[in-house]
Amino acid sequence: MFIFKLGLKNLTRQKRRNILIIFVIAFAFFGYLMMDSLMNGMEEMSFDNIKNYDTGNIQIVNPAYWEDREDLPLENLINLNQEIIEIIQETEGVLGVSPELRFKANLNNGIDETAVIGLGISFEQYNQVFATKNYIVEGSMFTSGELKAVIGVSLADLMDLKVDDYITLLVRTKDDTFNTIDVEISGLVRAPNPMINNGIVFVPLELAQQALNVDNGVSLLALKTIPGEEDAIIKRLKSSFQNKNFNLKPYSWKESASSVIALSAAKKGGIGTVLLVVLLIGMLGIINNVILSALERTEEIGMMKALGMRGWEIVFVFMIEATGIGILGGLAGCLLGYIGVSWLVKYGFSIGYISGGDASGYGIPILDRIYGIWNYPSFTFLFILGIIIAVLSSILPSYWAAKKDPVKAIYHR
Amino acid sequence: MALLELKKVKKIYRQGKIEVPALRGIDLTVEQGEFTTIFGPSGSGKTTLLNMIGCLDTPSDGEVKLNGDEVSKLSPKQLAMVRRYNIGFIFQAYNLIPVLTAYENVEFAIRLIHLSKDGEIRKKVLKMLEEVGLKGLENRRPNELSGGEKQRVAIARALIKEPKIVLADEPTANLDSETGAEVIKIMVKMNQELKTTFIFSTHDPLIMKYAKRLINLKDGMISADERRG
């Protein structure tokens, strides 16, 4: 117990050096916690933006369509009928179904032309699945039967368009002939998912089906489900489709977002590297401190040995001191981290300097700001790991200190 | 049986290929309660001899017996235990722990031997500090004490565990003559009251004046061994 007390009292020696090491450890912890919060926030926002504005929780498609879905083909579409809709809607856990017809188009404003993705939707059903309507910044969404369209603000800026302007979508029909869709812009959208804003034109589903000559065909059915139950719902849907001999297959949003998920995996590797650097900084700080302390206290170590202290008892004194520094550094780091993460959660981190706040060019479907999220296990994990590292990294230099020859230590001057 | 017995003790240090003999065959017997001074010129082997007696070092040849037990062949761990229970040290530079108070510096030595309960330890430490004239200064840290007071703490630390021998290496070297005399008087008093054996390595004529036995060391050998009254 006295040795423990001595170890703790030793913390008050070399105050400036100890404070510096505590500060270095705290700063490293702070950096890690901020990055962890930001990365996890980015991941959560990306996933939410994919689910809420692009894929829904589950997409149902013809398996042959799925293979070529990036090319937006008009082959292998789902011939939509009430039976399919009813089966899906009656599946436990499904909250909404939105049929979509996705197609390639060239948008013409009368002067310029640009390639866009056309999205034929049924407004009411689309709203059950996606949150886009909350981000109409000008005008309004169209309703069924209207010859109207909604486009993103970025696309509107690019093509110098505004609400009530007319646009022409040049499309190729299923039979590979050209056709046009002439619509009036009813609204402009600025959704958190920048991909919606940049190159998508929403038009009424029936209008798109008619122009593309696909009858009742839709590219996919996007589903909103109870969060986290996607896998179970997919199982139920598969079973239902099998029973009815429907050539349909449900896919989780994760399969549509593989590039973002890959980015997320890379992020975990990045956080791991940061963690390694943080721990290395802590280790070096502790090792350096124990070695310097042992050098400064050589005579004292000699005296302790003369009094009959055993090697492990001297090791223990230094380890207590090192552990104390680790604990104080960890606590200060967690406190700084708490303040920093609170700020990130509330105010976020501006990405305005990246392509005008649009990170989609980097595969991250986030606009303007990335908000941090609380990851309390990270605080606990880092704090405990910090203490373990402090203890472990102090063993060798403490042992080195305790191994000193008592005579040389006493008379080292 | 003698408290301490050295037979033909030699110590040779190696500096590269050169062998430097520090002790060339010391025969010495010290009885319980002696107040002995080892003196001699620098390099005569005083400190080396003190280290052998204090079980801080082992001889290259010969044997050291403490209380009849051979200690010169013990492992470092066993030597640490011998030091812990049997030997007290007083150093020239005091070697107090700066973050501990006078009380705690003394307490430190007795805590290591785990013999007494908390209440008893407190009584014992306070009594020892009073004996060395530090009553009222128990809570001061070394940097708040004068040189003489620091050395008194070191004496109290050496004596608190009631060791068989106290070894003091130049204990007055850092003190002015008046303070040095006070410190020596304390050690003389302790020697008389507790019958603790004191062995000094010193040049200080004042210590030699109080010593009951003077051992003159020259070139690693005892050249004179004089007992007084």
Predicted confidence (pLDDT) per residue in B85-140, tens digit: 999 999 888 889 999 999 999 999 998 887 668 888 899 999 989 988 888 999 99
Q: Residue B52: which CATH number?
A: 3.40.50.300
* Residues in chain B where the model's pLDDT stays below 50: none
- The string of pLDDT tens digits covering residues A256-283 is 777 777 777 777 788 888 888 888 888 8
Contact A407 B93 (CB under 8 A): no
Cα–Cα distance, A413 to B14 (Å, whole number): 19
pTM over the 0.80 mark: no
Domain limits of chain A? 2-51+260-410, 63-247
Confidence check: pLDDT of A358 > 70? no
| B-contacting residues in A 275-314 (Cβ below 8 Å) | 299-300, 302-303, 305-311
Q: Which residue, B208, B217, B195, B229, is CA-closest to B46?
A: B217
Q: Which residue, A36, A20, A1, is CA-closest to A344?
A: A36
> Which residue is closest to A312 within chain B, CA to CA?
B77
- The string of pLDDT tens digits covering residues A238-261 is 999 888 888 899 999 888 777 777
Q: Count how many domains chain B has.
A: 1
Which residue, among A307, A313, A317, A403, would best test binding to B if mutated, counting the most B CBs under 10 Å from its CB? A307
Give the domain range for residue B38. Answer: 4-227
Q: What is the ipTM of this complex?
A: 0.90
The count of C-alpha atoms lying within 13 angstroms of the C-alpha of A300, restricted to the half-sphere facing its C-beta, is: 18
Of A10, A13, A407, the CB nearest to B56: A407
The tokens describing A374, both together, are 């609380």
The runs of H, that is alpha helices, within A257-375 are 258-296, 298-306, 311-347
Chain A residues in contact with B56 by the CB 8 A cut-off are 305-306, 406-407, 410
Q: What is the dihedral of CA A198, A204, A207, A212, to 10 degrees?
A: 40
